[in-house]
Amino acid sequence: MAETNRSFVLRAVKDVVLEDRPVPNLKDPWDVRVQVAQTGICGSDVHYWQRGRIGDFVLNSPIVLGHESSGTVVEVGSAVKNLKVGDRVAIEPGVPCRHCDYCRAGSYNLCPDTVFAATPPHDGTLSKYYITQADYCYPLPDHVNLEEGALVEPVAVAVQITKVGKVKPNQTVVVFGCGPIGLLCQAVSKAYSAKKVIGVDISRSRAEFAQTFGADDVFVPPPKPEDRDDSLWSEEVAKIMKERFNLGEGPDVVLEATGAQACIQTGIHLTKKGGTYVQAGMGRENVVFPITTACIRDLHIRGSIRYTVGCYSTAVDLIASGKIDVKRLITNRFKFEQAEEAFELVRQGKESVIKVIIEGVSS
């Protein structure tokens, strides 16, 4: 029988199926074909599965899911010089055009023509084989396994967030959220010699884990009194945090990785005058935002999306050096045939679940 490319396909909202597709061919001299070994599940994958869109990206035709992957190179194009068959690689899932002003300036995360895995209409990496460009594959050192290789992607996201926030040695950094990205932002900040890193989460178990992973201290906000206004309560929580952690005027940098309105409001009130606030979490598209406070405090407010030049190679180095132990984030492992079960577990949002990994097609 001819070999097929087993794939986990999102056909429509809440409609996924395993399909045997044709094995993809190289289309460009710079292409490589990777046999995918491990894939992590990201919240964006689940979002497309449940809702069919994120912002302007709308599911109008079936796509393969997945974008946090590693694997082994099994075929290389005629022009490829940096890789050979048998190399183990982390796959950077977005290949930009390389020619627009954004790409030429190094901000290829803003390229409007990026082919990004599992972002409609492009197929993702949850297949036996995935075709991509050789320069968007990063060789893994021998001592880094393929599970760790799959988690290079979320580490690169955290590297970009800290890059946007200009996190430097001896700074105080507060990170809202102790999910995978928040935890990694804390760990990257600490690896960059931040003086004090504080993680914030409403889950006590996640906060406690954060304190063993990358945070020097953690904060679980008290529940809001029923008679208290949301915005005033957020301001009050910021004051509580400043006093409890001896933050003075506030931290140098706040990284927001939840998208929750209460965290956004608290984060703005918390940041010191002239400090930096980075919005990375995506929740509701519109929130009540304390803009007067942001103006009066002369805050540097930035958004963060994907990764830019150097983020992926830095992420590989952070993992390879042992500065970030991504293996500790993996709480659940599934076979490829159990992909829907794995996605359902992530959808449930249990406190005990941090990172879910799907093994590649076994044969």
Task: Tell whether 34 and 121 lie within a shared domain.
Answer: yes
pLDDT digits (tens, 9 = 90+) for 95-107: 999 999 999 999 9
Task: Tell whether 217 and 284 lie within a shared domain.
Answer: yes
Structure confidence at residue 1 (pLDDT)? 62
Can you spell out the DSSP letters for 150-210? HTHHHHHHHHHHHHHTT--TT-EEEEE--SHHHHHHHHHHHHTT-SEEEEE-S-HHHHHHH
Task: Tell whether 113 and 46 lie within a shared domain.
Answer: yes
Q: Has residue 54 been placed in a domain?
A: yes
Task: Tell whether 258 and 340 lie within a shared domain.
Answer: no
Task: Tell whether 60 and 144 lie within a shared domain.
Answer: yes
Q: Which residues contact 212 (CB under 8 A, 6 or more apart)?
A: none
Q: Has residue 273 been placed in a domain?
A: yes
CATH number at residue 140: 3.90.180.10
Q: Is the pLDDT of residue 141 over 70?
A: yes
Task: Tell whether 122 and 205 lie within a shared domain.
Answer: no
Task: Tell whether 287 and 170 lie within a shared domain.
Answer: yes
Q: Is the pLDDT of residue 363 over 80?
A: no
Q: What gap in Å lies between CA 257 and CA 236, rounded to an integer?
A: 20
Q: Has residue 122 been placed in a domain?
A: yes
214: containing domain? 156-303
Helix (H) or strand (E) holding 78: none
Domains in the chain, number:
2
At 56, is the pLDDT very low, low, confident or very high (cuts 50, 70, 90)?
confident
Q: Has residue 314 been placed in a domain?
A: no
Q: What is the helix, strand, coil percentage profile of the chain, to 5?
A: 30, 25, 40
At 214, is the pLDDT very low, low, confident or very high (cuts 50, 70, 90)?
very high
* DSSP code for 144: S
Q: Comparing C-alpha atoms, which of 249, 220, 255, 258 is closest to residue 237?
A: 220
pLDDT digits (tens, 9 = 90+) for 8-41: 999 999 999 999 999 999 999 999 999 999 999 9
Q: Has residue 185 been placed in a domain?
A: yes
Q: Has residue 160 been placed in a domain?
A: yes
Task: Tell whether 255 and 337 lie within a shared domain.
Answer: no
Can you spell out the DSSP letters for 272-322? PTT-EEEE----SSS----HHHHHHTT-EEEE--S--TTHHHHHHHHHHTT
Of 49-63, 86-100, 298-312, the range with the lowest mean pLDDT is: 49-63
Structure confidence at residue 362 (pLDDT)? 84
Average pLDDT, the chain: 97
Beta-bridge partner residues of 334:
358
Q: Examine the fold and report which residue of 303, 333, 350 is the final residue of a domain before the chain moves on.
A: 303
Task: Tell whether 120 and 33 lie within a shared domain.
Answer: yes
Q: What gap in Å lies between CA 46 and CA 18, rounded to an integer?
A: 16
CATH number at residue 178: 3.40.50.720
pLDDT digits (tens, 9 = 90+) for 163-177: 999 999 999 999 999
Q: Comparing C-alpha atoms, which of 276, 260, 322 is closest to residue 173?
A: 276
Task: Tell whether 170 and 186 lie within a shared domain.
Answer: yes
**Measured over all CA atoms, what is the biggest interatomic distance in the chain, rounded to whole angstroms?**
69
Task: Tell whether 31 and 104 lie within a shared domain.
Answer: yes
pTM, entire model: 0.97
Task: Tell whether 99 and 171 lie within a shared domain.
Answer: no
How many percent of the chain have pLDDT more than 70? 100
Q: Has residue 312 been placed in a domain?
A: no
